[in-house]
Amino acid sequence: MWCVPLDDGMGDVTSADLATPTVPVRASKRWHVGQSVALVAITAVLSGVIPLTLVAQVDDVGLTDAWVFTAAIIVWGGVRLGWLIVAGMPRLFDFFFWMFCYIFMGIAPTVQLRSGLTSTTTPGIDEGLYLPTALIVCLGLGAYELGRLARMGRERSGLRSVSTQENALPTIALVDRRHTLLLVGVGLAASAYFLLSVGPGALLGSRAASFAAREGAWPDPAIRSVMYALAIYPLLVGAGAIAQLRRRAQAPKAVRLYTLSLVGCVVVLLLIVNPVGSARYTFGTVGFALAVYAGALVSGKRVRVTLASTLGAFLFLFPLADAFRSEEVKLTRNGFFGEYMSNPDYDAFWQVANAFSYWVDGLVIPFRQFLGSVLFWVPRALWADKPTDTGIVLANYRGYTFDNLSAPLWAELLVNGGVILVVVGFVLAGIGLRFMDTRLLLSFGLGGLWAVVGAIFPVYMTILMRGSLLQATGAMAVAVACVLFVRQRRNVERLDRA
């Protein structure tokens, strides 16, 4: 069973909301000397070595001083990531949030602001927007931390209130066997239909060929997004539920049956979602979830290794995977920081600038883009004026010929309600993600439904953070529906005290 620190110095406490009913987990304030040394070492690299090396290697062309604020994001993000890794606690929502900010709102814009080599897909941005954009990004992160602190305060109050419940035992939500098998069957049928419609050859080719095949099969973007999600997430959730059933199975025959089913799900998933023909974010989501199902987070040591490896993969392997985007594989790279110069993959900061300009020009229709995301499932044939992706809206506003652009959370909030909504949205994000993380704390050690939730949704949050929401909500809705479907309807299981 997980032994959760009562207070790890950054507010990691158990919550009354962990399960119903709950019990305080054994508390410990002691850190091993090795953990303290590791914390200093990792934080020194992430918050010291990397930003200092960036400043030394990337010449400042003198466009703006806004890079100071994005560099501050690197420093604080490095502190937060270092602590999350060394603590060895699976607060995955917070981890993926800060990993995105560290790279896409920290390293990438700092390199581009100093070098003047901004994303090639967002040209012509007014230099007067650089500093306001950096301040808006920092404002959102500050609001996130305030929301997180507010939730932490409530958790401490809840912990004090349940500390008197001496007879309370921890409980976990389980997965339903019949619903799991039914979901896997539906997932296999949906995957087979997807394979027949697109063709295995296209999926194993370049990313451009794979996307073109999907576009040919389903021209409507909303329908295409849902069909792709149906080919992936029922099987991905089903595989996680099977892993939980296998974990609790007693009979050897049942264990073998669940093992074979799990292997079959993995094979089909990796045929549809592979590192060559799939988007990096989608493959990363599936790969991380499968690693968690295999036990990557069942102990503090494994959590540290998994989180450190995930951060390393995003820093070093994510840019390399771009080599397979087109038919011509390009393996010649331009050094670590050179990867961020002019790279269209790192347009997030500049799309925040475009969204800020969009708001300043008075073009915002409150919550219109959010409405399009919520009603993603409505075909455009029935809703002619349905909002397009926010990335496309901003591309059209700026007159770009290329419109497959990101729209990070800051941009989505700006085009729906301006700077005030950025503050409110990030406060709510801080509260919500802390709440979710607290519910995940025991899930990977004890299993159950929340172990499936924690395997998929935190890493999927990088897709939501990058945007556009309209593109991402279809798959998320399918995944949520699948999780709710496999949830066991009877009372959750009460566990013996460890």
Where in the chain are the domains? Answer: 33-158, 177-295+431-486, 338-424
pLDDT digits (tens, 9 = 90+) for 146-155: 999 999 988 8
Would you state the pLDDT for residue 5?
38
Q: What is the mean pLDDT of residues 209-217?
A: 79
CB atoms within 10 A of CB 10: 16
pLDDT digits (tens, 9 = 90+) for 336-348: 888 899 888 899 9
pLDDT digits (tens, 9 = 90+) for 285-294: 999 999 999 8
Q: What is the 3-state secondary structure (H, E, C) of 227-252?
A: HHHHHHHHHHHHHHHHHHHHHHCCCH
pLDDT band at residue 409 under the 50/70/90 scheme: very high
pLDDT band at residue 60 under the 50/70/90 scheme: very high
Q: Helices (H) and strands (E) in the chain — how many of each?
A: 21, 2
The mean of the pLDDT values for the chain is 84
Would you state the pLDDT for residue 27?
37
Comparing CA positions, the residue from 320, 330, 332, 234 lying closest to residue 284 is 320
Take residue 480 and report the two structure tokens written for it. 């949520």
Contact of 8 with 85, CB cutoff 8 Å: no
Segment (H or E) for 494: strand 493-494
pLDDT band at residue 226 under the 50/70/90 scheme: confident
Would you state the pLDDT for residue 187?
92
Phi, psi of 493, deg, nearest 5 = -80, 135
Separation between Cα atoms, residue 275 and residue 282, nearest integer Å: 9
Strands, E, within 150-205: which ranges?
171-172
Would you state the pLDDT for residue 288?
92
What is the total residue count of the chain? 498
Would you state the pLDDT for residue 332?
53
Q: Which residues of 69-94 are buried (b: 16+ CB within 10 A; e: fewer)?
A: bbbbbbbbbbbbbbbbbbbbbbbbbb
Chain-centroid distance of CA 297 in Å reads 17
pLDDT digits (tens, 9 = 90+) for 293-316: 988 888 888 999 999 999 998 888
Would you state the pLDDT for residue 144?
97
Would you state the pLDDT for residue 158?
66
Which residues, in sequence order, are CB contacts of 199 under 8 Å at separation 6+?
Answer: 213
Separation between Cα atoms, residue 133 and residue 70, nearest integer Å: 10
Q: What is the mean pLDDT of residues 89-105?
A: 95
pLDDT digits (tens, 9 = 90+) for 352-384: 999 999 999 999 999 999 888 888 777 777 888
Separation between Cα atoms, residue 130 and residue 135, nearest integer Å: 9
Comparing CA positions, the residue from 144, 58, 140 lying closest to residue 107 is 58
Take residue 487 and report the two structure tokens written for it. 């949830």
Q: Three-state DSSP class for 171?
A: strand
Over 90: is that where the pLDDT of 415 sits?
yes
Contact of 436 with 91, CB cutoff 8 Å: no
Over 50: is that where the pLDDT of 193 sits?
yes
pLDDT band at residue 200 under the 50/70/90 scheme: confident
Would you state the pLDDT for residue 470?
82
Q: What is the mean pLDDT of residues 455-464?
A: 91
Separation between Cα atoms, residue 106 and residue 121, nearest integer Å: 19
Separation between Cα atoms, residue 95 and residue 236, nearest integer Å: 22
CB hemisphere CA count around 43 (13 angstroms): 14
Would you state the pLDDT for residue 326?
55
Would you state the pLDDT for residue 290?
92
Would you state the pLDDT for residue 81?
96
Using a pLDDT cut of 70, give the percent of the chain over it.
Answer: 85
